[in-house]
Structure 1
Amino acid sequence: MTRTVYEIMTVAGDGITLPLLIWRRFKRPVPGVLEATLDANPGLADLGPVLPLGTRLRIPIPAPAAEERPTERISLW
């Protein structure tokens, strides 16, 4: 049984959207985190696209994939 780990974040600026908050947390695209965040925070979508200052929300932290392998680098020189 897998357990979901969440990080509590607070909106600390003006003009912050949920995708921007997720991007700032992970620094890369993470498929499914936006939807999982909306599921973990009932009523969050009702606040509108720009989150109000001070809004606290839970962002799920995905488990690392077991199949992740470093990409092979090829040098031409």
Structure 2
Amino acid sequence: MRVHAMQGDTLDLLCYRHLGATAGVVEKALELNTGIADLGTVLPHGAAVLLPDLSTAQTPATRALVQLWD
């Protein structure tokens, strides 16, 4: 999915706004958009960004819940 940055947008904000997640998604978006980090933290208005498909984005493994007391 290709989206365009609005004023003040960051890559993680775009991922959250359009995909509803950031964990594992931002990293995949960085891989898809070679050189986007060179644009800075705040993306220029109108910058085209290719976002990953959520089914192909690898999210981190869920950790087991550890309880200190039973």
Do the structures match in fold with TM over 0.5?
Answer: yes
Instruction: Mark the runs of 5 or more structure 1 residues left unpaired by the alignment.
Output: 1-6, 65-77
- Residue 19 of structure 1 pairs with residue 12 of structure 2: yes
C-alpha distance in 1 between matches for 2:30 and 2:11: 9
State how 1:32-43 maps to structure 2 within 5 Å: 32-43=24-35
Instruction: Mark the runs of 5 or more structure 2 residues left unpaired by the alignment.
Output: 57-70
Instruction: Indicate the structure with greater strand content.
Output: 1
C-alpha distance in 1 between matches for 2:22 and 2:38: 23
Shift of 1:30: 4.2
TM-score (norm. length: structure 2): 0.71
Q: Which residue of 1 aligns with 2:3?
A: 9
AA aligned opposite 2:2: I
State which of 31, 44, 47 in structure 1 corresponds to 2:36.
Answer: 44
C-alpha distance in 2 between matches for 1:61 and 1:36: 9
Tell which structure's C-alpha radius of gyration is larger: 1
SS in 1 for 2:35: coil
CA RMSD of aligned residues (A): 1.5
Give the 4+ runs in structure 1 shifted more than 2 A.
Answer: none
TM-score (norm. length: structure 1): 0.65
